[in-house]
Structure 1
Amino acid sequence: MSPPSAARRKLGTPTLAMLPRIADSLSFLYLESVRIVQDDTGVCGRIETPNGTERVYLPTAALACVLLGPGTSITQPALATFARHGTSLVCVGAGGVRSYAGILPASLTTTWLERQAHAWADTTARTGVATRMYTHRFGDTPTGATIAQLRGLEGQRVKVLYRTLAQKYGIKRFRRNYDPTAWDAQDLVNLALSAANSCMYGVVHAAVLALGCSPALGFVHSGTQMAFVYDIADLFKMRVTVPLAFSLHASTDPEREARRRLREDFRLLKLMPEIVTSIQQVVSPEHAGSQIDRSTSITHLWDPQLGQLPSGTNYADLSEES
């Protein structure tokens, strides 16, 4: 077999990044600088080269989410094929950072959305999810601690981390200061941290959409369409974005450097499987890692006493028989 052409290598790496299959048979594909079209054979990524058009066919049936990065375009027939296979499409920034919009197929299962909504609507269950989120971040929490106490504990541990990193990089004093209306007025570490966090939100947003959950139904945060995104992003900030921001304390352009560093090695994109698993573990740990059949789209009817009932049945006829 002849070696792959330069164009095919360019499409495959680094502009094409396939993540491993994870819980619920989710797999993610990141595309950049590619035109996605439908031909007689299937959906392919097409790139123009001096030697002609190179094509790489995409495994549409095996994909749960396609991340459309800069320079991508897609035709309506290709979109329709992804929709038929139950694949979500998310428009993202370079390297998967930042999420601008999502297209969800009508056949996407609502299993995890329903689990999220059920836990969110019940005060006891919501408290349990919030507690698991704090435990996920810090490893342990005091038994029987209230949410107010956990918030206080969070604040203390974040301060300790800031102080430790400030000492490590020789920063005399650091205080988190974020004002979106005065973005450029932030000091270098705060500017890098704000930029890195915005990148993290994009990656988490893509994972939430691909799983079928609602970005708006948060457990710790509330009152915004991104509440759940902020919840999940907080699980990773102390490990990913905060240390990176402090390491850029002497950068001449910390905002640009933070985004470049996160894009270069796909650090955040490689976190995608862990993000999806973490969502499942905090929302419904007893179902985390369970397999969901995405090949079918079955609609049920809901009954408060009987649970799920089959649709497509005339219940007037059954009522007359009883």
Structure 2
Amino acid sequence: MELLTDLKAILHSKRANIYYLEKCRVMQKDGRVLYLTETKDENLYWNIPIANTTVILLGTGTSITQAAMRMLASAGVLVGFSGGGATPLLSANEIEWLTPQSEYRPTEYVQGWLSFWFDESKRLRVAKAFQQARLDYIKRIWDKDRELKNENFFIDNLEISSAMDNYAIQIETAEKVGDLLQREALLTKQLYRYAAKATQFGDFTRDHQAADFANGFLNHGNYLAYGLAASTLWVLGIPHGFAVMHGKTRRGALVFDVADLVKDAIILPWAFISAKEKMSEQEFRQQCLQKFTEHKALDFMFEQVKQQAIQNIESPLSAEEGKGEGKHP
């Protein structure tokens, strides 16, 4: 992707950083984007490496200057405003992403997406492909992550392997998106139950308003995944409203579809592990970001969305149109 900037380009799918900031001021100074924290005795400036940043979440007590927004836009960084702890003040609300304005995003992916989106049967097929990819990702990550195994998360556990095998069959037999949603909800409950048992959490009920550590970390981690998903869709030029599974009346629905590709594999287990160890929000966030990078979560999102978008497109782009992220994330 071409951007009007002298920054050394880093493909979005290879970027490593997500920032959550609170009680600070984000500004531009000497050609860099900084955030300023004020203490009683001194003011401290910290640099944000915007060329290697995907998303910035601004929490409570933050402000940002117009000059900083201009630089972030030039580097293709998405900015979102959230409540405390990187989640909305009201859990029913969705973060309003401020997306950079660029005329150089690819067009083939949105055209490919729209070529199937108005056909309900094709939308269902893509929704099924996403759900199967989600299962495959859970199996792959849980099978190779030694830290998860040390925390008693085993993909060959009879309870969890049976639940996933059953869901794989149900994916194929689903006749409408509503069927998938119901069966997905059942699988997620089974994953919650397994995670609670593995971490000796006790009885667990998913409640976005609850104050316990596990629910709070799930909210927090999910919004990190939403940031990656929103960035993926922005880079590929696909509007968030063209969902294949979630909330047809919610304009951010496709963000949820894409985020679901990685949430259960990474966010869900680490939310319970972090709750058991009574981690701080910052420690939990760092753990999630480390695992996103280790398991190439952003690469996986790009791969899946691109694959579904272009599967019916036969004509290749010209070399000029295929530059950057549009051709090779």
TM-score, normalised via structure 1 length: 0.58
Give the deviation of 1:236 after TM superposition: 3.8
The alignment status of 1:203 with 2:224, answered yes or no, reads yes
**Higher relative CO (CA 8 A, sep ≥ 6), structure 1 or 2?**
2
Give the deviation of 1:144 after TM superposition: 9.1
1:259-278 matched pairs, under 5 angstroms: 261-266=280-285, 267-272=287-292, 274-278=296-300
Determine which of 28, 38, 41 is the counterpart of 2:17.
Answer: 28
Query: Closer, same or farther in 2 for the Cα pair 1:76/1:57, shift >3 Å?
Result: same
Q: Tell whether the 8 Å contact from 2:28 to 2:67 is kept in structure 1 after alignment.
A: yes
Structure 2: stretches of 5+ with no match in the other structure: 1-9, 89-93, 137-164, 311-321
Give the deviation of 1:48 after TM superposition: 4.1
Q: SS in structure 1 opposite 2:27?
A: strand
Q: Counterparts of 1:30 and 1:48 in 2: how far apart (Å)?
A: 18
Q: Tell whether the 8 Å contact from 1:95 to 1:264 is kept in structure 2 after alignment.
A: no
Query: Closer, same or farther in 2 for the Cα pair 1:227/1:193, shift >3 Å?
Result: farther
Q: Which residue in the other structure is 1:318 paired with?
A: none
Q: Which residue in the other structure is 2:64 paired with?
A: 74
1:1-322 matched pairs, under 5 angstroms: 23-24=12-13, 26-32=15-21, 33-48=23-38, 52-61=42-51, 63-93=53-83, 96-97=86-87, 100-107=95-102, 109=105, 111=107, 113-123=110-120, 125-139=122-136, 141-142=168-169, 145-148=172-175, 154=184, 157-158=187-188, 160-161=190-191, 164-165=194-195, 168=198, 183=209, 194-211=215-232, 212=234, 213-223=238-248, 224-240=250-266, 242-243=268-269, 261-266=280-285, 267-272=287-292, 274-285=296-307, 293=324
The percent identity for this pair of structures is 22
Choose between structure 1 and 2: higher helix proportion: 2
Q: Counterparts of 1:157 and 1:287 in 2: how far apart (Å)?
A: 26
Q: Tell whether the 8 Å contact from 1:64 to 1:87 is kept in structure 2 after alignment.
A: yes
Q: C-alpha deviations, 1:244-266, integer Å up to 9, x for none?
A: 67669999xxxxx6xx6554232
Query: Closer, same or farther in 2 for the Cα pair 1:23/1:69, shift >3 Å?
Result: same
Query: Closer, same or farther in 2 for the Cα pair 1:94/1:114, shift >3 Å?
Result: farther
Q: SS in structure 2 opposite 1:217?
A: coil
Q: Tell whether the 8 Å contact from 1:201 to 1:229 is kept in structure 2 after alignment.
A: no
Q: C-alpha deviations, 1:231-279, integer Å up to 9, x for none?
A: 234334434455467669999xxxxx6xx65542323334555443333
Give the deviation of 1:107 after TM superposition: 0.9
Q: Which residue in the other structure is 2:319 paired with?
A: none
Q: Tell whether the 8 Å contact from 2:18 to 2:289 is kept in structure 1 after alignment.
A: no
